[in-house]
Structure 1
């Protein structure tokens, strides 16, 4: 009874102290009364340093009050009437950040593996980049509260041309009519956005862009080879994945290399040949950086509002010899049949000879420099990993991605914002997510070290809060142990879907 009485006291205090809720358009008195009537859980993270995801300074000795799945109050810890009222999380010596977003992920439908791995690493939201029946089901389970997992913003089926690197379940379109139909299907399947791919014919791409405008659905994806990147951006493509085409677009040999690609057909008998040519030209172009061309390109991206999603985590894997990650300790969370596919397909992309290894090392660091230049020019950067491609791990690899963003030239605060505030804004969720602000969703990560001093602090997780549900360190360790056990069950007991794993060098 005392806990309940004190909980009511805290809610009564919130009714008068909830200026932050009022600023978010929520009536504090009604909010507190509804929470009291419903018996909603109240959690207070007390004495913590709040790194709220905005440009403001870190705020030491603060408290954050959570009521159900909402942040209800943020302010000095001394102002909160505690005394055993609600669940208290001791934040002293710790740092509270918004929940992280992986903005390029795959495989959420491995339900006993990927969802817990994301959450255990502080990833409370993902942009799932290929829609199909299984992960639509998983998304809905999470939305209904039947499955514990990150929030899922889900793509359409990948839409590509009649020649493609990919097989089912992608959608191939040969003309404008088929392209429009694919967009309408995406709407019917409740896709959050459309994803386009490399080999789309120009007329099909234009139809997708127009139909997406008609339907009010954003579209993102790979560089469509038959268009210039800026033409695609001005047509409405909101993000470009993996940096494909960026080295060419910012080089002194841009026109020569683009003319060569324009003159090269897509070969249905050897579809990878064009991809390999484009990638090799990108690599060579990275050594011919032209500041003037780059300035024009970055200005064009800014004018269109398009973002870059570098996915350094996967780019790093394919820049190194195939065996580099064979003994990575994180492999214990990945089923054997997936690792077997990784080992089989990664050699399609990895360097082998000493000369190739040296070339790819130079290329990768040129990509880092390009993203730094883009960031300094004001281009928006999204933090994603392309997990489920070889040796790119759910949750864990987002920490790697943050390291790479800092190495590229973002400050720790800016890198953190790329996977919190800026991710939410890109997804149209700035009013409900991305910062530690009253009225927003209670997706939080409590760290044992300061991420503004060293971005690697995001690995030192004490507690994760997802939609108001508190996962302490004991719970997170149990989730990791359960995922490891699930990954190491006999193959016939695992959700084996290796025939459609997105292992084609980036999806």
Structure 2
């Protein structure tokens, strides 16, 4: 749970990283320590106050609000002699309003915990730290101080895992008359990737700052002026680590590669062909011919063994982050459309991907434009009038962006002229439906595409007074879709208008399964693959995000979600174009998204067409990708199964080729702590 704006279901953006990956503040001696949370270049979005009393109890107040949502938490804990939790509790509400109520106590060698989604016990044989499921960013300091006591540099965690740290950089900083030295450390052992924290240099170290480049700066109060300097240094350190990861997991394909005996999926026609040979040279497809007929002097060979060869998949709704590339590529995603980010951060990421130093899909950028308001998200450009909107569009057009994304607080009075100007500059227009408007209004005023199924469905529920910048944009859909008659004239007329104007819909259905997920239930995104995931990830995915107070509400929300799936199928059958996007956990969410399209009534082959051909068509990259044919980029996915029959087989990837480099999904997954789904088919030297 990111960048500019947080995704609609931010499990991997900032608060997930702060609250699940990090742990937080330490045993201070009768003092109060304050942190401020800055987003998008300096806008205050929250604060954390950590007070340690003479009684040894630390009390934390934490609030974070951005884009109309965020947690409010009160935390209290006391430490044992070894610096780990003796007693811990946190109460409040989560990002989307679900109740948070979690406790841990240790009595001798027995520890017990209980949250709204799980409970358990642990028998202690040595030092081990309980990791809160719904805690504040104040427990990192506890972890850091406990780690400092461990001679082996490893801290066992409860319920599972081991936390380690590695120092990456140090900086001398000053603020007024104060000066200090802080260290950047990488914490590993929770989640899929490292978490980076700036740490004080003292006998009992604590978190000084947590920075998510391009989005969040959580830093001790009084030191805000140093945050940008720390962020710049952190970017360098992260880049060095990412380059090393790419060098380890990417396998160059110099010269010519022959892929023998592969069944090639024709994404334009949505049909699976017979066995073929595909020749790739210098990152491009040279030829596709019947198996055994390719005459080529190849440097390396892939024996596909009659497996299915797909074009590289598209994830059409991401908020790109450098550390997510492995999860994307291991799922066959070779192209990803960024739907809102800090412009400078995204430009750097795109440059590193193009240079081959970053393990990441190709990025198709959508320029983010928001309007000024107390609710506005500050990524991209934030405008107040038509002149500002035109200036933003000019910047995006001059930088090669094929489309813009309009966000929740955009001034509705200038929407029509904005879309017209974007079209004049040759740019597609997509986005959320601005507050106090309906989807049919933005369609009439020139949108080419709408993001998220909830933004579409709100068309039938909002009034001119409904402020959809609040959590109402989720709860209205969960509460009222169940009662909506899809065969009614207003619904049918709206679907017909979408089809007539060929307005593309980016449903992100899988992301919205949080509308019905109950406490203790595994998120449907990972439910079918949970055994492959690290235990801490499984645990975090049992926490609900919406407040579902009783069984009757839960059943209604589930029926509403099922109707969202049905509505997506109805749109498709009416001729409304779909693209497959996620806005959630990379890789696994796209796989779940494709399964939901099958549930909506599409055939598996049609679903694969949506994830390949449609992705390329509506990102304006069809000349380069989206299908397998001579002249196209060699973005290819080899599947150890037949996803045209069973869409779940899309998880069984044996090889991914992105241009001139090969990746083995099993190898990437193992590096991220994930049990592989299929044995790799490796590139072999030609004999």
TM-score, structure 2 as length reference: 0.56
Within the alignment, does 1:65 sit opposite 2:279 as a pair?
Answer: yes
Q: Larger radius of gyration, structure 1 or 2?
A: 2
Distance in 1, Cα, partners of 2:415 & 2:532: 39
TM alignment of 1:212-361, pairs within 5 A: 212-247=422-457, 249=459, 254=460, 257-258=461-462, 261-264=463-466, 272=470, 274-275=472-473, 278-279=476-477, 283=481, 287-325=484-522, 328=530, 332=534, 347=545, 349-361=546-558
Does the residue aligned with 2:590 lie in a helix, a strand or coil? helix
TM alignment of 1:484-503, pairs within 5 A: 484=673
CA contact (8 A) 1:333 1:483 kept: no
Write out per-residue CA displacement over residues 208-239 of structure 1, whole angstroms, 9 at most, x where no aligned residue: 21331232222211122433323312433122
Distance in 2, Cα, partners of 1:265 & 1:129: 22
Q: Unaligned 5+ residue runs, structure 2?
A: 1-252, 675-687
Q: Which stretch shows the higher mean deviation, 240-249 or 450-459?
A: 240-249
Instruction: Give 1:456 deviation, angstroms.
Output: 0.9
Does the residue aligned with 2:578 lie in a helix, a strand or coil? coil
Q: Which stretch shows the higher mean deviation, 350-359 or 90-99?
A: 350-359
CA contact (8 A) 1:162 1:173 kept: no
Q: Cα–Cα, structure 1 residues 223 and 265, in superposed 2: closer, same or farther, change >3 Å? A: closer
Within the alignment, does 1:399 sit opposite 2:609 as a pair?
Answer: no
Within the alignment, does 1:410 sit opposite 2:602 as a pair?
Answer: yes
Q: Cα–Cα, structure 1 residues 265 and 91, in superposed 2: closer, same or farther, change >3 Å? A: closer
Q: Which stretch shows the higher mean deviation, 324-333 or 198-207?
A: 324-333
Distance in 1, Cα, partners of 2:583 & 2:535: 16
Does the residue aligned with 1:51 lie in a helix, a strand or coil? strand
Q: Cα–Cα, structure 1 residues 160 and 86, in superposed 2: closer, same or farther, change >3 Å? A: same
Greater helix content: 1
Does the residue aligned with 1:272 lie in a helix, a strand or coil? coil
Write out per-residue CA displacement over residues 326-385 of structure 1, whole angstroms, 9 at most, x where no aligned residue: 89567649999xx98x999x63x3423212211110011000110111111011111111
Within the alignment, does 1:454 sit opposite 2:646 as a pair?
Answer: yes
Within the alignment, does 1:386 sit opposite 2:599 as a pair?
Answer: no
Q: Cα–Cα, structure 1 residues 156 and 350, in superposed 2: closer, same or farther, change >3 Å? A: farther
Distance in 1, Cα, partners of 2:506 & 2:594: 12
Does the residue aligned with 1:420 lie in a helix, a strand or coil? helix
CA contact (8 A) 1:223 1:244 kept: no
Instruction: Give 1:289 deviation, angstroms.
Output: 2.2
Does the residue aligned with 2:453 lie in a helix, a strand or coil? coil
Write out per-residue CA displacement over residues 116-156 of structure 1, whole angstroms, 9 at most, x where no aligned residue: 11111111011111121222211111122222311101122
Q: Which stretch shows the higher mean deviation, 181-190 or 198-207?
A: 181-190
Distance in 2, Cα, partners of 1:459 & 1:57: 19
Aligned residue in 2 for 1:17: none
| Higher RCO (CA-CA < 8 Å; seq separation 6+) | 1
Aligned residue in 1 for 2:264: 50
CA contact (8 A) 1:441 1:468 kept: no
Distance in 1, Cα, partners of 2:294 & 2:325: 34
CA contact (8 A) 1:220 1:239 kept: yes
Write out per-residue CA displacement over residues 158-217 of structure 1, whole angstroms, 9 at most, x where no aligned residue: 4245242x5433544333333333333434555442111223222132232133123222
Greater strand content: 2
Aligned residue in 2 for 1:10: none
Q: Cα–Cα, structure 1 residues 46 and 417, in superposed 2: closer, same or farther, change >3 Å? A: same
Instruction: Give 1:69 deviation, angstroms.
Output: 1.1
Instruction: Give 1:157 deviation, angstroms.
Output: 3.0
Aligned residue in 2 for 1:89: 302
TM alignment of 1:121-200, pairs within 5 A: 121-132=331-342, 133-164=344-375, 166-169=376-379, 171-187=381-397, 190-200=400-410
Q: Unaligned 5+ residue runs, structure 1?
A: 1-38, 388-392, 486-507
Does the residue aligned with 1:275 lie in a helix, a strand or coil? helix
Does the residue aligned with 1:431 lie in a helix, a strand or coil? coil
Within the alignment, does 1:483 sit opposite 2:675 as a pair?
Answer: no
Distance in 1, Cα, partners of 2:316 & 2:367: 15
Aligned residues: 416
